[in-house]
Amino acid sequence: MTDVRMFGYSDPFSARAGKEINFMISAEGTRKVNSKIVRLIHGDENPDGPGFLEEDIQTEVPETLEVKRQYVQLGSFAEVKDHEDTFSKLKSFSMCAFIWPSLPGKQRQTILGSWSVSEGIGYALGINPEGKLEFWIGDGKVVDHVTAEIKLVPKVWVLAAVSFDSTKRKAIIYQINAQNSWNSLIGPVAPFNHNSIVEEKTRIIPSMGNKSFLISGSHEHNKERGDFVSLIFNGKIDRPAIFNRVISHKEFKALSTGGKIADPLAFWDTSAGYDKDGIKDEILDVAGKELHAQGINKPVRGMTGWNWRGKDDSFRLAPEEYGGIAFHDDALLDCKWDVTVSWTPPDDIRSGVYALKIWEKNKEDYIPVIVRPSKPRAKIAVQMSTFTYLAYANERLAFDAPTAQAIVGHTPVVSEEDIEAYKLLEFGLSTYDHHNDGAGVCFSSWKRPILNLRPKFRLSGMTIPWGLPADLSLLWWLENENYDFDLITDHDLDREGVEALNPYKVVINVTHPEYYSEKMLDGTEEYLMHGGRLLYIGGNGYYWVTAACKDDPSCIEVRKLDTGSRAWQAEPGEGYLVSTGERSGLWRSRGRAPQKLVGLGFTTEGFDQSQPFERMPDSFHRHVAWIFDGIGESEVIGDFGLGFGGAAGIELDRYDLLLGTPPHTMLIASSYGHSDNYPLVSEEITYAFPGRGGSQDPQVRGDMIFFTTPSNGAVFAAGSIAWSQSLPCFGGKNNVGKVMHNVLQAFLKSGPLPGSSFVGAEKHWR
């Protein structure tokens, strides 16, 4: 009997009350699951806190749901819209494309064609399991192959081409070097021969069948799952074309040096369609018949092409050199599952984190959704870090990243659930992972099961909550202390700008607001400039330049560049977001260090032990002493917590005037005693030398600060992921909570803040 397995996702992942939310479920080993809607109150099962808490919600969602196995189409490819069956009428024909194969060999891959694996019908130009360029045709009974003599070299551009003469049943396959000093992994000084011409007579002419023309894939059918696309290409494809005649070697040779071949049947100009804001997923046919190709699972645009010369590092400067489109056989943006059940939260429902809870036998799953109020109700908004949730979605660092293991300071502790999740490659990757060919993952979406976006999840390899379950500690504390609050999300702020924040007297960040768009930065800055009050109580915030994908709010894009704590680094020339046209990487590298906005910026991370904060001299100043009402002069703050035992830890931010911390900022507390498993972040290190760990470098610490902004606005910041995870200790009655109470009580009142009249005309310089 098959074990019960069940997975699901919601779309949208966040919605206003009164708007419909769809839940998609796939199950094996059962055809029915129990179900109910719950509100998630606390996610950490640590006995030092309140434990796991949920509230049943009365809804019209059935108590039992009919479920089925739903399948996933992995891999990025493009499908041509051929409404007039143009390609099925081919007799003699030729095909070509510039290719940069990143993983030749091991398995068959398709570059372009109309091929049915199941039926053995059609034609395709691709790569065989030995890593050689190959052309294959089939008539349903016989399959013929013509194979190049020389293996493809990984990450080296060549022109791959084939001509087929149906009257003579003759195929010629061409592999022509297109390498230059800039565009490939190895340069021209390497004495490799990339050229090959092979001519063979075939036994058959292909049966064209009725399958669509694909770039980077072939058609396949399975009795259980139905039709899908397989034999996905790994690497970049630039300017593919097909002709309804035989093209000569001379013509292909001219094409390989920048020439053109007249009268293509279809020519997909992969460099066409760029504007100042990037490019969409549709690949334009410029030959006249508008046989455009639609990208599936987000083939990566904005990549250097076969003719890149290294002078310009952005598609905005030289779009003609950015025809490369990267395809990956493990890419996933949208499972496209059928809807299992829908739920519309009533207009009067409490704003919060809800979930469709499903269970059967000894298996359960929570499919979360964030519900925003139908209209603002509270004075406090908690901004849920939905961009960051997606960036880490299904990350595999504990297994695949040695650097992550080193930071932990101990052998990673993995559970059976971690191992099971690691095996589930079908649900896609995070922006901390690498595709099978080694390329970093730059897109992530909520339209798939995200196994670490569950209330009881604990960080793989460690023992602490991360992301959403860690953020529930803050929500629990606010509710436990009778504060009314609304939830908003990064996506709301990105879409609406400052209007998402303006209804609120106070905005609170959650534990890890790492991924931010320009619209989010601008909205937060404008909010603070006009009297808004912000509690930044997370770590490593406002860090990576991120964008929502064009025409798809479920998707984010980020590229990791030359600095920052990064799991991968973009190839040269490929650091610009195709979603917005802007340079990715760190906001700090673009002149907007987080210190300029919230006073603190990322300085260290570690996963062995968290520490407390101790008061600094500024904390006794009459302008800020009210923050510590009820706290002793020598009392340490947060020597407890669900995040490794302290309020200062995991990832920490520090005050730094040289990076833009407002000069009048009061440095009111700092952490101390961090181990050498807390290294200084890489962007601070211009020369590598010993002594950059927590026991040696004074920059390895977390800081607590306060500063005012125009119109009676203010920022309180405690730069630590662990801060909110200290709040639930001792039933919520602790000195971390006392600091929060003091700040919130002051921030919720209108007019000048206690002791803040000195700010404005006078600056506080120490």
Concatenating the DSSP letter of every residue in 365-412 gives: EEEEEEEE-SS--SSEEEEE-HHHHHHTTT--HHHH-HHHHHHHTS--
The yes-or-no verdict on residue 581 having pLDDT over 80 is yes
Q: Specify whether the CB–CB gap between 460 and 317 falls below 8 A.
A: no
Question: Residue 7 is inside which H or E element, if any?
Answer: strand 5-11
Structure tokens at 594: 């987080």
**Mean pLDDT value across residues 637-644:** 96
Q: Does residue 412 surpass a pLDDT of 90?
A: no
**Lowest mean pLDDT segment, chosen from 554-563, 671-680, 749-758:** 749-758
pLDDT recorded at residue 758: 47
pLDDT of residue 162: 98
In this prediction, residues 183-189 reach a mean pLDDT of 95
Per-residue model confidence as pLDDT tens digits over 242-259: 999 999 999 999 999 999
CA distance 8 to 60: 19
| Model pLDDT for residues 223-245, shown as the tens digit of each residue | 999 999 999 999 999 999 999 99
> What's the pLDDT score for residue 284?
97
The pLDDT confidence band at residue 400, using thresholds 50, 70 and 90, is low
Check residue 521 and give its pLDDT.
98
Note the pLDDT of residue 727. 98
Average pLDDT, the chain: 94
pLDDT of residue 623: 94
pTM here is: 0.96
**Is the distance from CB of 607 to CB of 646 less than 8 angstroms?**
no
Confidence band for 402, pLDDT divided at 50, 70 and 90: low
The reported pLDDT for the residue numbered 695 is: 81
Q: Average pLDDT of 346-367? A: 96
Q: Is the pLDDT of residue 70 over 80?
A: yes
Element (H, E) at 250: helix 249-255
Angstrom distance (rounded) from CA 399 to CA 569: 19
pLDDT of residue 398: 67
Find the mean pLDDT for residues 310-338.
97
Per-residue pLDDT tens digits for 278-296: 999 999 999 999 999 999 9
Residue 764 has pLDDT above 50, yes or no: no
Residue-level pLDDT at 597: 98
Which pLDDT score is estimated for 715?
Answer: 98
Residue 123: per-residue pLDDT: 97
Q: Which residue has the higher pLDDT, 60 or 419?
A: 60
Which of 142-156, 194-208, 288-302, 399-413 comes out lowest in average pLDDT? 399-413
Is residue 249 within 8 Å of residue 262, measured between CB atoms?
A: no
Mean pLDDT of 478-487: 98
Q: How confident is the model at residue 615 (pLDDT cuts 50, 70, 90)?
A: very high
Q: How far apart are CA 621 and CA 619, in angstroms?
A: 6
Q: 5-14, 76-85, 182-191, 461-470: which has the minimum mean pLDDT?
A: 461-470
Q: Is the confidence at residue 761, as pLDDT, over 60?
A: no
Predicted local distance difference test score (pLDDT) of residue 408: 66
CA neighbours closer than 13 Å in the CB half-sphere of residue 522: 8
- Decide which of 409 and 171 is more confident: 171
* pLDDT tens-place string over residues 27-62: 999 999 999 999 999 999 999 999 999 999 999 999
User: What is the separation of C-alpha 675 from the centre of its chain, rounded to a whole number of angstroms?
Assistant: 30
- 638, 735 Cβ separation under 8 angstroms: yes
